[in-house]
Amino acid sequence: MINQQTLIIGANSNIAKALVDQIQQYSNVGLILISRDLSDYSQIDNLQKITVQDYQPETISATVERLSRDRLKPITQVFICNGILHNSNIQPEKRLEELNAQSFQQVIAINALLPMLWIQQLTPLLASKSPCKIIVFSARVGSINDNKLGGWYSYRASKAALNMMLKTVAIELARRAKNIKIIAFHPGTTDTPLSKPFQRNVPPEKLFPCDFVAKQLLAITKKTEVDGSASYLDWQGNTIDW
């Protein structure tokens, strides 16, 4: 019988799809999926699916209102998977000359602001006595300390900004919603459309299948305690320097 729910935002991510496959094996966990495109889940029935048109602030707040109305069991895990590195108009910068104001604004809005708008709207719903872990997909390239290669200005900066916001909100939640734990997660280079154009120089043993990453992430999430601070963890569960 379902006694808790997992919320997955950006559920069309390939890593999110692997998370869904694995979470479905737990008969006590209900799944709520949010995405702009849930067509890959059309064959699966025992899920709550919410298709959003976009991730504008009004859409996010209307979606959370709907969740507050519908909710039956406590949400104990939230995975925010959204992130872009490239699209038809955007490529990660190899050199300073490639930095472009519009592309930067789009990347930072999706990678840093969007997760925070969800956390902002979800906090009243998630604040309770039962533990709740919010896992946001970051990346190791967002570590300022770890930046030895340079390049990818917008993506790096957006993930560094995301990390700072996650650290900041964890400090506030430690006072306001002590049951919420914030985790910034680095999946490692994972075989998804996001990494596809950049896989050529990645040794096969360092390019992870999504099901491996999902398994690691679920084990790490389970093991990580609610401690009033943000953790920045990689796919092995190791701490990354901010």
Name the site residues for ligand NAP (rule: CB under 6 A).
10-15, 35-37, 55, 81-84, 110, 114, 137, 139, 186-187, 189-190, 192-195
Nearer residue to ligand NAP within complex by CB, 45 or 54:
54
Q: Pairing state of beta strands 132-137 and 75-80?
A: parallel
Q: How far is the CB of 161 from ligand NAP (least distance, A)?
A: 13
Length of the chain (residues) = 242
Q: How far is the CB of 232 from ligand NAP (least distance, A)?
A: 12
Q: How far is the CB of 117 from ligand NAP (least distance, A)?
A: 11
CB closest to ligand NAP, residue no = 83
Strand order in the sheet with 230-234: 48-51, 29-35, 4-9, 75-80, 132-137, 180-186, 230-234
Q: How far is the CB of 46 from ligand NAP (least distance, A)?
A: 19
Bridge partners, residue 51, by sequence: 35
Nearer residue to ligand NAP within complex by CB, 5 or 155:
155
The answer to whether 214 and 6 are in contact (CB under 8 A) is no
* Cα distance between residue 233 and residue 21, in whole Å: 22
Query: Residue 100: exposed, middle, or buried by beta-carbon count in 10 A (0-12, 13-18, 19+)?
Result: middle
Nearer residue to ligand NAP within complex by CB, 72 or 149:
149
Q: How far is the CB of 67 from ligand NAP (least distance, A)?
A: 16
Nearer residue to ligand NAP within complex by CB, 55 or 132:
55
* Cα distance between residue 182 and residue 73, in whole Å: 21
